Structure 1
Amino acid sequence: MPESPRKKRQREPHQLPAGRHGLPRSFVVENQRQRILAAVADVCSSAGYVAMSVEDIVVTSGVSRRTFYDNFRGKEDVYLAAYDEVTKQLLTRVYASYEAADGLVARVRDSLNAFLTFVAEEPAFADMCIVEVMAAGPIAIERRNRTMEAFSQMIEKAAAEELPKAKLPPALTAETLVGGIYEVVYSRVLQGRGAELPDLLPDLLFSVVLPYVGQETATSLLKNERRRSKPKAGKQAEG
């Protein structure tokens, strides 16, 4: 019988070998789940949420359709699970930077830098969670809103701990600032320019702290941050 012209799919490094391998069932199940979630980010980034299918995810992850449906109900369910997994990683990194810093300006700077760096280093995750979330339906958008609310609360907490109540701007300020940052990040990621985001730290930091510390302090901070970023650019040019 002639060999099928269909090319055999080779096992990827992250995939387990077929057949008996002596690995605990719990390890195998978790490995399969993580492969599926990683595949969602890859497929969503390359094809977009609307065009993404369960078949695309199955092929990319290297699991069977049965394994997929043992873990997830369908396309929306697996997208939401992948979104939750990525935002958990992101918020863990941002919270760690926030808690390690001292004072409003340092906390905003370090947590914002952690966010921008994560997005720049994980383009598939960025596409999935920042751009394609808008096409993934109302539940996904509500989860995006909750993530943005977490960032707003960090700013509000840092400000409340440092500034007298009388000097705090209106309660809507932090939410407005986070919404503006989202639009800046969204436009860069959509254009495939996510790697540029860490370079925007000085300007974004200025925008966030301005309502809390005033024009003079924010302008001085902007100049200092731009000076700090210049040596990095110089070293890259020399390399």
Structure 2
Amino acid sequence: MHTPVPDAAAQAHSTVPKLPPGRHGLSRTAVADNQRERALAAVADTVERAGYLGLTVEAIIGHAGLSRRTFYEHFHNREDAFLAAYDAATAELTDRIRTAYESEHGFADRLHAGLAALLTFLAARPGLARLCVVEPFAAGPAALARHDTAMRVFAGMIEENIRELLPDCHSPSLTAETIVGGIYQVIYARISRQETTRLPELLPGLLCSLLRPYLGAEAEAQCRRMTGALPPADGAR
């Protein structure tokens, strides 16, 4: 089975280098950007280990190598830091999915490309995966509102393509919402079970499940063509 391999840059997402001590010739903006990136990486790493409930200012600054004063120059509190990390991660994820989606033409090929981008991104970044998929429910109303917005954005991408490529679809909006919701629930369960790095293995099965209502028996042939594999039988994981 062909499974996308996380790239090295993605695997090293949490390793934002500290600035050298003393004079380094960097601008204030560059210094501030580095501090913020280190804090956001520390948020993701802490959430991966301890969840939102274990996310404290002390944990963030200790992991990032920042002073408390520097932390509060960038964020109001731990929730603010969590939301900033969530926003940065979902913006990057959305861009990757959209780029992959738009690189293809048919509905099945676009769905395959978008799914592959999603699963590969999350598998390469377990901390961000947990932060984006699981922990918003523990982080309060603002995080849940962002989660709902992200789900609508992803559904909107699919709805746009359904309207263009499946003009006979009776309810494109609900269909897109159902697709996104189904994918989300499967991914949520795997991340909760500490199986994040295996997410790309789901690609053939998810793709086939999503295509079957539209392609019938042809779905498995399409799945094999695009992924090089058929979905595993139940119980064969």
- How high is the TM-score relative to the length of structure 2? 0.85
User: 2:203 matched to which residue of 1?
Assistant: 201
- Over the aligned positions, Cα root-mean-square deviation in angstroms equals 1.8
Alpha-carbon distance in structure 2 between the residues aligned to 1:223 and 1:125? 30
* 1:92-171 matched pairs, under 5 angstroms: 92-164=95-167, 166-169=168-171, 171=173
Q: For the Cα contact (< 8 Å) 1:160–1:168, is it kept in 2?
A: no
Q: For the Cα contact (< 8 Å) 2:123–2:198, is it kept in 1?
A: yes
* Deviation of 1:34 (Å): 0.6
* Deviation of 1:169 (Å): 3.9
What one-letter code is carried by the residue in structure 2 that aligns with 1:96? T
Return the match for 1:27 from 22, 27, 30: 30
Question: Runs of 4 or more off by more than 4 Å in structure 1?
Answer: none
* Deviation of 1:131 (Å): 1.4
Alpha-carbon distance in structure 2 between the residues aligned to 1:223 and 1:229? 5
User: 1:62 matched to which residue of 2?
Assistant: 65
Alpha-carbon distance in structure 1 between the residues aligned to 2:79 and 2:60? 12
User: 1:71 matched to which residue of 2?
Assistant: 74
- How high is the TM-score relative to the length of structure 1? 0.84
User: 2:218 matched to which residue of 1?
Assistant: 217
User: 1:48 matched to which residue of 2?
Assistant: 51
SS in 2 for 1:23: coil
What one-letter code is carried by the residue in structure 2 that aligns with 1:204? L
Any unmatched runs of 5+ in structure 1?
1-11, 231-239
What one-letter code is carried by the residue in structure 2 that aligns with 1:103? G
Higher RCO, 1 or 2 (CA under 8 Å, sep at least 6)? 2
Q: For the Cα contact (< 8 Å) 2:133–2:188, is it kept in 1?
A: yes
Alpha-carbon distance in structure 2 between the residues aligned to 1:151 and 1:33? 27
Q: For the Cα contact (< 8 Å) 2:109–2:226, is it kept in 1?
A: no
Q: For the Cα contact (< 8 Å) 1:117–1:198, is it kept in 2?
A: yes
1:91 aligns with 2:102: no
What one-letter code is carried by the residue in structure 2 that aligns with 1:35? R
User: 1:4 matched to which residue of 2?
Assistant: none
Per-residue CA distance 1:150-173 (angstroms, 9 max, x = gap)? 221121111111122x43445312
Aligned length: 216
Alpha-carbon distance in structure 2 between the residues aligned to 1:168 and 1:105? 18
User: 2:174 matched to which residue of 1?
Assistant: 172
